[in-house]
Structure 1
Amino acid sequence: MAIGRPLNRVEAREKVTGAARYTADARLPGMVYAALVGSAVSAGRVRAIDTTRAEAAPGVLAVLTHLNRPQWHGTPDALRYQETRFPLADEHIHHHGQYLAMVVAGTREQAAHAADLVAVDYETRPAVPTLDAALPDAHQPVWRFEPEFPTLLAIGDPEAMLAAADVRIEREYRTPYYSHAPMEPHATLAHWAGGSLTVYTTSQHVHGDRPVIAGALGVPPDRVRVISSLVGGAFGNKTAVWGPTLLAAVAARQVGRPVQLVVTRKQVFTCHGHQPPILQRLRVGANRDGTLQAIVHHTVNGTPVLFDRPEGAISPTGTVYALRSVGVRVEVARMHMPTPATMRTPGDGPGMFAVGSALDELSYELGIDPVELRRRNHLAAHPLERKPWSGKQLLECYDEGARRFGWERRAPRPRMMRDGGDWVGFGMSSAQRLEHHGPARAVVEIRDDGTAEVRTSTQEIGTGNLTTLTQVAAGGTGIEPDRIGFRSGDTTLPESSPTYGSRTTGSTGTAVHLAALRARQVAARLAIADARSPLHGLPEERIGAAHGRLYDVDAPRRGETYRELLRRNGRRSIVEQGFHDLAGRDPRFSYATFGAHFTEVRIDDTLRRVRVTRHVGVFAVGRVLNPKTARNQAQGGIVYALGGALMEELTADPVTGRFIAPALTDYHVPVNADVGEIDVSFVEEPDYGAHPLGAKGLGEVVAVGVHASIANAVYHAIGIRVRDLPITPDKLVAGPR
């Protein structure tokens, strides 16, 4: 059985040998290059822009500004464009780094040099640079799309329940600007031919990008082809179209040649999404026996001055633990900041930092072990949908995680565990993320040479999804994975679910699964009807498939290969399509993925440097399609969140709002020396109510709760509670010695 085997990645050899081709590796005859000019101020307007020197520079073909760019079509809101204004829309400046001009030249170096020659005369205005500066104007958001979560909600009477609780805590938690910081910067190669546009671009959903590009340029969607096969990291910042993609297409039409635009590393940090700073205030009430009574959760996040974009940090508040009453309020505060974007466990990640930390603080107030407190408040059903979870093995995750970690060795109070010059601390947190679904189509073709091919528009974004989808096709057809090819990342292929929101495994995987089963079924019926086939006349349910052949399950030696069957019947191939939508989900249940994190930290008593020396993560994500790629994905999610807990912070100047040193040299992410032992395991129980495959998404739940688990371990080690991430040594030096 292909599903469940720890297969190596299908694209691994290409990647390690350098043969893999990413968007910036694409080449076309006559290709030229573009470079962007960003604003040096955060607020104001362009009083004048002088492009004379740039236009006269060697190799320059065009310089575009708001004064001479072609007319945009449609509106950003109607097209669901990432921002509320198209690039180079006007002279007004709303954030540092905002694109003010684009230069097109014969070489990349010529374009970059000419971009430096563009002179801008600014009229500078006072900026709202930080969340604290914006807080006085915090308000309920006016969300420009349909709300994906409630921004104001009350279940029961939370104020009354809090007042009646035996124990109450009130805390404030903060998370900073976080950058996606993918290794691959945004890149686009645009080419026009006969009124049709081909766009090679870094994307997590090519079919979603196509109508945005077509609408902004005023061409029919069927005249636009979008290609994105391999993506070198995204974490959410490639979920939608950004300005450079549109500008490259405009420039290609203007100069009549293919135009490649690859943004600089600095521009990755300033103009292509981030998670904004978030302030969270929690009030929690419980009885002496640990039974939670109420949580009131108020969040305020930074948002651009042009529109309201709420972050869903309240996502885990009412759905993780059993509560008699819940109150949530989401507000936004407008800042002169670049547009945020969906980012690594959006909502759930920062929300669980606050909720998971508050539960830990409550455990000390009550004198109840943190794991036991969570057990006593286990939630059996979704409180808003009023449906039981289709599959919830969270208690088993607690058990297995505590056993593997050695939780029984934990001292009951902080500052009780020491090893030489290090304080040692144990912390833990729950993990949960609602399971998302999306429509998806896929085609599976079985060929007369005994091979098969999967066709769907998904991308490989580094998670191994092409490998698991190949295994799904192998499981459905009975053809070995190494005999199955894959075509992906192209709008000429059937539309897959986006590669964000942990949708690929469940949604696109189901489409591939159904297509494979249908192709196999057509082959089986062909054999049954063929008097020359050894399977002729058998009931369909008696025909199995394995190792590239159909066989009688009651007499496995009786059968034939696909190759023999198709060639004898003059068929070059069998092609079938699979489709997934919400109709396949059992409406009686609610769906989510679950997990538990356990962390050991060591803190040097002199330098107060925090090291995560051990981390155990146990997850319930339904059926695990490939334990090797699943474990790798889980370890990666934990490492990402470790960075967010201990070192990642995109710092804004408190006066101007400009990001200070936006580069990987200063925005620290974990390296090998920062990562200790990570033990990942799964409580595997297929959830066929969620998807016919029984599998659910694991790309994001694995990171939810890690921030809290680490912060809780730090408190247990040294007795200092850090409520504003990241947990850097300066926040610990003033504490007890």
Structure 2
Amino acid sequence: MSLIGQPVSRVDGRAKVTGGAQYAAEFDVRGLVHAALVTSTMPHGSILTMDTAAAEKADGVLAVITHLNADRLPYRRMKERPAVDPPSGEALRVFQDADVVFSGQPIGVVVAQTVEDARHAARLVRVTYNEAAEKTTFDSARAAAPSEATAEDGEPGETRRGHAVRALDEAEVRVDATYVHPREHHNAIEMHATIAAWDGDRLTLWDKTQWVGNTRAVIAHVFGLPEDHVRVISPFVGGAFGSALRAWPHVTVAALAARRVGRPVRIELSRRECYTSIGFRPHTEQRVALGARRDGRLTAAIAEVAAQTSTYEEHAEETINAARTTYACPNVLTRYRFVRMHTNTPTSMRAPGHVSGAFALECAMDELAVQLGMDPMQLRILNHADRNEADDLPWSSKELLACYRTAAERFGWGERSWQPRALRDGGTLIGHGMATAIYPAHRSAASASATLFADGTALVRTAASDMGPGTYTAMTQVAADALDLPLPRVRFELGDTDMPKAPVHGGSMTMASVGCAVRAACETVRGELGADGAAYAEALRRRGLDHIEASADA
């Protein structure tokens, strides 16, 4: 029987519950010292003065670094922008000038013998500012169209299919409402942390990241290093779901500070700093207007989105895609606009854009069902999109109708009254609703290696990540199945740029991408040895080998 999909205990579970799993801040590096950020206390302007004298004299302090004395970093031009970065704008350049563009921006760092000494000294730094007019409230009246670069990256300011405005005017039944989705912060159990250690011109980073390859590329770009001079290690990630996609400013700060003091430096953001040093799901305001015939068939859909971004980057999301693709409709108009604010740049969070867009669209569909006097599930089934009408292409796969049927059976949907406020338990109102969500099936190139040993065990490695969904266990299952070995005989390792390349651990693509590479590597090494399962050890002994290794791409 195949091991894939079987309910097995997590292979990394014991290490996690006994403290054996090491997260970024927990590595014991010889000579380690600690760093604490100094952050801006106003949202827009420039620094006039920074008095670091008291901090420099504090117990245990090794260095205080600000824009006044920081190394000028080359920020070497990258061949292509990282896929997880916004398509337009420039990332924050740490300690390179006096400009302040959001409250909580890192403007200095204190390095000390202990974390307590560092944090105490950071509070002693005195800063004065030349404050400028700030934009810290969301105002959709300031919304502006995306740049050309953002539009070319797949988030255009406007899309049209048919004549939505006219069709809405002529619709027999209409819903027109505005839906607000506030900003959300990830708040994973593990806070963001980096340890940086230099060995000559080579840098090792222990970092909380969903993509070790990206952190290596970005830091090599910042410091003007060859990529093979940077190693990133991240075997365990204590939750992220988008927050650890990018190499945030504190990673650069750790490396900068370590080079200055000539010792490994550890920086761990506080919970408060995770609200400003790390991105978040952006605030959005969406107007959704739907038009339909009396029988429930959609005739018009308009979705207008105003989304928060920073003043220095355009973080765009696929918020409009819900209206473009979820339901069959001949007349669709979408508009996407940015509201630039003096905050840090938003970032991906768990189905970025899809969540916000589906929230607004599905609320509007429920409102339409009430106006029609129609079961909300039947309304959705009636308007099921049999093909991708936005791109005029067939779906590669789609089981939405089967999901509707299965969910209806399991939740007793047929017994539900479609009228609002109809279901009660005594004096308590009981919510009983449904909504539709669709998400693309992403896949990217990946590589893996597999090694068979004479003791009948196997080692499989790839530079993937596991922020909690079970990469360790799932890949071990794939490998054990491909090698025809018992699960305990297979060891899987990830999270190191010295391993074969893997794509970003995001977009629900890890199993489809890395899983294929793992299987290919296992099949390759099995084929090269010309043996099966229990015969591996004997085959290696006949060849006089203690192991055999193979790599594969997928």
Q: TM-score, normalised by structure 1?
A: 0.72
Offset at 1:436? 1.3
1:410 to 390, 400, 416: 416
Match of 1:116 among 115, 123, 136: 123
Shift of 1:578: 2.3
Q: State whether structure 2 residue 109 is matched by structure 1 residue 107.
A: no
Q: Is the 8 A contact 1:190 1:260 kept in 2?
A: yes
Aligned residue in 2 for 1:372: 378
Quick check: 1:139 aligned with 2:144?
Answer: yes
Q: Which residue of 1 aligns with 2:428?
A: 422
Q: What aligned pairs does 1:64-463 form with structure 2 within 5 A after superposition?
A: 64-74=65-75, 80=82, 84-132=91-139, 135-142=140-147, 144=149, 147-463=153-469
Please name the residue that 1:44 is paired with.
45
SS in 2 for 1:479: coil
Q: 1:143 to 1:309 in 2, by over 3 A?
A: farther
Question: Which is worse superposed, 430-439 or 69-78?
Answer: 69-78
Contact (CA 8 Å) 1:201, 1:226: kept in 2 or not?
Answer: yes
- Matched residue SS, 2:459: strand
Contact 2:192–2:268 under 8 Å retained in 1: yes
**AA aligned opposite 2:473:** T
1:368/1:508 Cα in 2 relative to 1: closer, same or farther (>3 Å)? same
**1:564 alignment counterpart:** 538
Looking at structure 2, the residues matched to 353 and 79 of structure 1 have their Cα atoms a distance apart, in angstroms, of: 30
**Conserved in 2, the CA contact under 8 Å of 1:321 and 1:377?**
yes
The whole-number CA distance in structure 2 between the counterparts of 1:39 and 1:344 is 29
Alignment partner of 1:574 out of 541, 548, 553:
548
Aligned residue in 1 for 2:13: 12
CA RMSD of aligned residues (A): 1.6
AA paired with 1:101?
A: G
Q: Aligned partners of 2:337, 2:392: CA distance in 1, in Å?
A: 26
Q: SS of the residue aligned with 1:251?
A: helix
SS state of the match for residue 95, structure 2? coil
Show CA shifts across 1:224-259 (max 9, x none).
Answer: 101111001111011010111111111111111111
**For the residues of structure 2 that align with 1:248 and 1:143, how far apart are their CA atoms?**
34
- The 5 A counterparts of 1:648-659 are none
- Percent identity between matched residues is 40
Which amino acid counterpart does residue 542 of structure 2 have in structure 1? R
1:388 alignment partner, SS class: coil
Alignment partner, residue 692 of structure 1: none
Structure 1 unaligned blocks of 5 or more: 528-544, 550-560, 581-737
Distance 1:573 1:421 in 2: 69
Shift of the alpha carbon at 1:335? 1.1
Residue correspondence of structure 1 range 498-647 to structure 2 within 5 A = 498-524=504-530, 545=532, 548-549=533-534, 561-580=535-554
Query: SS of 2:175's equivalent?
Result: strand
- Distance between the aligned counterparts of 2:81 and 2:374, measured in 1? 52
Per-residue deviation, 1:223: 0.6
Q: CA deviation at 1:494?
A: 0.4
Q: Are the counterparts in 1 of residues 315 and 347 from structure 2 also a CA contact under 8 Å?
A: no
For residues 560-617 of structure 1, the C-alpha deviation after alignment (integer angstroms, 9 at most, x for no partner) is x21122212223333222212xxxxxxxxxxxxxxxxxxxxxxxxxxxxxxxxxxxxx
2:321 touches 2:357 (CA, 8 Å); kept in 1? yes
1:76 deviates by 7.9
Report the Cα distance in structure 2 between the residues aligned to 1:143 and 1:104, rounded to whole angstroms. Answer: 42
CA distance in 2, matches of 1:59, 1:272: 28
Determine the structure 2 residue equivalent to 1:712.
none
Paired residue type of 1:379: A
Q: Secondary structure at the match of 1:174?
A: strand
**Secondary structure, aligned partner of 1:382:** coil
AA matched with 2:44: A
Conserved? CA contact 1:76–1:85, under 8 Å: no
For 1:2, give the aligned amino acid: L
SS at match of 2:381: helix
* Structure 2 contact 76–224 (Cα < 8 Å) conserved: no
**Number of residue equivalences:** 546
Distance 2:506 2:56 in 1: 41
Which secondary structure state, in structure 2, belongs to the residue aligned with residue 96 of structure 1? coil
Q: Secondary structure at the match of 2:256?
A: helix
**Secondary structure at 1:564 match in 2:** helix
Deviations 1:68-121 (A, max 9, x none): 110111268866467632112211211110111100011111111110110001
CA positional deviation for 1:144: 4.9
User: For structure 1, which segment, 465-474 or 377-386, has the greater mean C-alpha deviation from structure 2 after superposition?
Assistant: 377-386
2-structure distance, mates of 1:339, 1:441: 31
Question: Aligned partners of 2:183, 2:275: CA distance in 1, in Å?
Answer: 11
The 1-side partners of 2:81 and 2:146 are apart by 20
Moved more, 32-41 or 410-419: 410-419
Confirm or deny: 8 A CA contact 1:206 1:490 kept in the other structure.
yes
State the shift of 1:303 in Å: 1.3
Report if aligned partners of 2:44, 2:133 keep a CA contact under 8 Å in 1.
yes
Q: Name the CA distance, whole Å, in 1 between partners of 2:47 and 2:317.
A: 31
The one-letter amino acid paired with 2:449 is V
Structure-2 separation of matches of 1:12 and 1:272: 28
Q: Does the Cα contact within 8 Å between 2:472 and 2:493 map onto a contact in 1?
A: no
Please show how residues 488-507 of structure 1 align to structure 2 within 5 Å. Answer: 488-507=494-513
Indicate how the Cα distance of structure 1 residues 431 and 444 shifts in structure 2: closer, same or farther if over 3 A, else same. same
Contact 1:72 1:217 in 2 (8 A): yes
CA contact (8 A) 1:273 1:339 kept: yes
SS of equivalent to 1:408: helix
**Any conservation in 2 of the 1:76–1:84 contact (CA below 8 Å)?**
no
- 1:117 partner letter: L
1:682 paired residue number: none
One-letter code aligned to 1:175: H
In 1, Cα distance between the equivalents of 2:425 and 2:458?
57
Give the 3-state SS of the residue equivalent to 2:321 in structure 1. Answer: coil
Tell whether the 8 Å contact from 2:291 to 2:300 is kept in structure 1 after alignment: yes
Counterpart for residue 55 of structure 2: 54
Deviations 1:45-76 (A, max 9, x none): 21111001111111111111111110111268
Q: Post-superposition shift, 1:384? A: 3.3
> By how many angstroms is 1:182 displaced?
1.0
CA distance in 1, matches of 2:148, 2:127: 34
Structure 1 residues 279, 182: CA separation in 2 closer, same or farther (over 3 Å shift)? same
Shift of 1:137: 2.1
> Residue by residue, what CA displacement relative to the aligned partner does 1:488-527 show, whole Å, maximum 9, x if unpaired?
1000000112111111011111111111122222233xx5
